[in-house]
Amino acid sequence: MKYCPKCKASFSIGQRFCSNDGATLTLQDPYNLVGRALMDKYRLDALVGMGGMGAVYSAVHLSTGRQIAVKVLLPNLAIGNPRLLELFEREARVVGRLRHENIVDIIDAGRTTDGVAYIAMEWLEGHPLEEEIQRGGPLSFQRVSEILRQVAAALEESHSQHIIHRDLKPCNIFLVKRPSGREQVKVVDFGISKSLGDTGGSPVSSVMGTPQYASPEQFRLGENIDSRTDIYSLGVMLFQMLTNALPFNDTTISALIHKHLNEPPPPLRSLPPDIP
């Protein structure tokens, strides 16, 4: 359930705004941050999403009145886990270097006096590609080509800065509807991204990423990875957008990894035969 932070009325999980006063609805906030002004700059109005590492709040930049999003490292995970804190703060540094219309814009980042790590970023009005695939089935060739073009443009920019995403997947691709009616793609969540030297790849020190979309080299400790790992993940997403299925899937992670490492993907036309 969600509730309105103004009138306290309850609503279904799928509703986004209060029908009484138009306020953004919030999930139950276990961290009691709704209503707080971080650093006396960002007022958190509603908890709108939870991920593996962070909680995302709808917020207002108090000095400008601009609606923004604030991502907070989950406090229960941050305690005694410097590795997670490092990954979270790396995201702000990495994305802060990137300036591209298809990459989420970072405004600010820091830590409060009581240790809450946060990233302030542009507010995106839309939904993730994952949701689009789940509710719409296979997407049209025209839609897929436009999404693919924009994600590839974002990757071209990040790779030119020697940054690989390493966790490209549909829930990290946000579809934004602009006032003109144009759909804009935004790549988000560079939390486990990696910076590469100018002269070569970077060795895998731990298996990271989402197994359904990860490249084979991400499963081999000590293997060098480079920008091609994102291209592989983009190929998996392309397959999924066209077929509404994953090229590799299994009930166990070990079996899934074995398929990525050893088996060819099924032909696209074995699923929707009308694909040219």
User: Quick check: 225 pLDDT over 70?
Assistant: yes
Spatial contact of 244 and 227, defined as CB atoms under 8 Å apart? no
pTM: 0.85
Q: Quick one: average pLDDT of 100-106?
A: 94
Residue 145, token pair as written in the block: 């080509």
Q: Give the pLDDT confidence score for residue 54 in this predicted structure.
A: 84
The Cα 196–Cα 174 span in angstroms is 25
Which residue in 167, 198, 230, 250 is the catalytic one? 167
CA–CA separation, 61 and 242 (whole Å): 40
pLDDT band at 175 (very low <50, low <70, confident <90, very high): very high
Instruction: Return the closest-CA partner of residue 167 out of 190, 201, 138, 144.
Output: 190
Confidence band of 204 (pLDDT split at 50, 70, 90): very low
> What 8-state DSSP symbol labels residue 199?
T
Copy the structure tokens of residue 48.
């709108």
For 181-195, write each residue's pLDDT tens digit.
889 999 998 766 655
- Give the pLDDT confidence score for residue 31 in this predicted structure: 87
- The separation between the first and the last C-alpha atoms of the chain, rounded to the nearest angstrom, is 44
Averaged pLDDT of the chain: 87
- Whole-Å CA distances, 3 to 7, 8, 11, 251: 8, 6, 6, 36
Q: 3-state DSSP helix/strand/coil percent for the chain, to nearest 5?
A: 30, 25, 45
pLDDT in tens, 54-101: 899 999 999 999 999 999 988 777 777 787 888 788 888 888 889 999
Active site residue 274: no
